[in-house]
A and B are shown apart, each in its own frame.
Chain A
Amino acid sequence: MTKQKFFVYSLFFGAIAMAINACQSASEIEMSKYMSNGKDIYQARCQNCHGQNGEGLGELAPPLTDTVFLKTNKQKLACYIKNGVNEPMEIHGKTYHEKMPALSNMHDIDIAQVIVYITNSFGNQQGMYTYKQVANDLKNCGQ
């Protein structure tokens, strides 16, 4: 193959690859962006207590694998992260009493991304949750 031919071929296949890529819908791209950023935030801020696979730590920190709990308390998750938790929680039928520290310096977008990561990992699959929803949910904390 001549150099010229090679160049033409690579342009051609490159174009096809880009076209396929573009087929991924905008919402899917947004979702994967949330997932990958959310994973970084999870590792930096959550993993020490809740574990690499959301398994928790004894009775000190609850697991993040109770999909029903996450679903029914979805509107409260942002409040839990931003303001901490100081009330018992029932997860997988077990009651956890330890305090969760407040991560008050987290921005809405960070909270949204980490919630998307948690609620779509560890056996959970609950889809998108935007930073706008976070802002909204945070207004209703403590109600």
Chain B
Amino acid sequence: MKKILGYAAVACLITLGAACTQEKKLPFYGDREAKITKDANGNEKIDTIYKTIPDFKFLNQDSVEVTQDAFNGKIYVADFFFTSCSTICPTMHRHMKTIFDKYKDNKDVMFLSHTIDFKYDKPSVLKKYAQKLDVDVPQWQFLYGSKEEVYKLAEKDYLVAVQEDNEATDGYVHQGWLVLIDKHKRIRGAYDGTKPEEVEKLKADMDILLAEKD
């Protein structure tokens, strides 16, 4: 009897252990569609096509043209801000910097901040800002672009609301999401960059995403 109990206990432990090692998976954001393909034998196969971030071309803080190629095969955290923003941006970037510090020199991780102040935030202004935040390295790209391109990218692709508003304190209003993008340009998470607990969750989710097999 004792022996049986012992075996049962071992079996229990094994099941528990297996349950714990089960991989956690991050969701996919945005619309998706089904693509039906036929293989060589004529069997139908359904693939899910997830929403991806489209190609872009902007100037970075060094006035160098940057496209999505810079982010190929990497996961990255993107946000929308402007340098003269005195409300939520300092908090967002204070938090984003803690993430940056955690993944500094990790070649699989990048950071991308789009400015929404197309009037004032020219590359030279972004450069100064990056230097003063002490993050002026290629791993963190600060990108400048036209209003049409950047605002469309924010709202249609990253799903972040941004707008010009003369009534607002600094002339613009925007949401403080930090958006997590995977190696295949798909959105895998959005976190409120003004809340420390959400930022902690983002860090944990980044580890999960980094461990994900392609």
Contacts and interface: CB of A to CB of B under 8 A. Distances in A.
B87 A59 contact: no
Q: How large is the interface on A (under 10, 10 to 19, 20 to 34, 35 or more residues)?
A: 10 to 19
Most buried by A among B88, B134, B169: B134
Contact of B133 (A57, A99, A101): A57
B94 A101 contact: no
B131 interface: yes
B88 A60 contact: no
A98 interface: yes
Contacts of B87: 48
A57 B91 CA distance: 9
B90 A61 contact: yes
Contacts of A93: none
A135 interface: no
Contacts of A57: 90, 93-94, 133
A48 B91 contact: yes
Nearest to A60: B132
Contacts of A99: 84
A48 B88 contact: yes
Given A48-B91, A51-B94, A58 B86 contact: no
SS class, residues of chain A in contact with chain B: loop
A121 to B, nearest CB: 18
Nearest to B93: A57
Most buried by B among A57, A59, A60, A61: A60
B90 A60 contact: yes
Interface in A52-70: 57-61
B172 interface: no
Nearest to A49: B90
Most buried by A among B88, B93, B94: B94
A61 B94 CA distance: 11
A49 B84 CA distance: 12
B134 A58 contact: yes
Nearest to B196: A52
Interface string A30-50: 000000000000000001110
Interface of B: 84, 86-88, 90-91, 93-94, 97, 129, 131-134, 169-170
11 contacts: A48-B86, A48-B88, A48-B91, A49-B90, A57-B90, A58-B97, A59-B131, A61-B90, A99-B84, A101-B86, A101-B170
Interface of A: 47-49, 51, 57-61, 98-99, 101
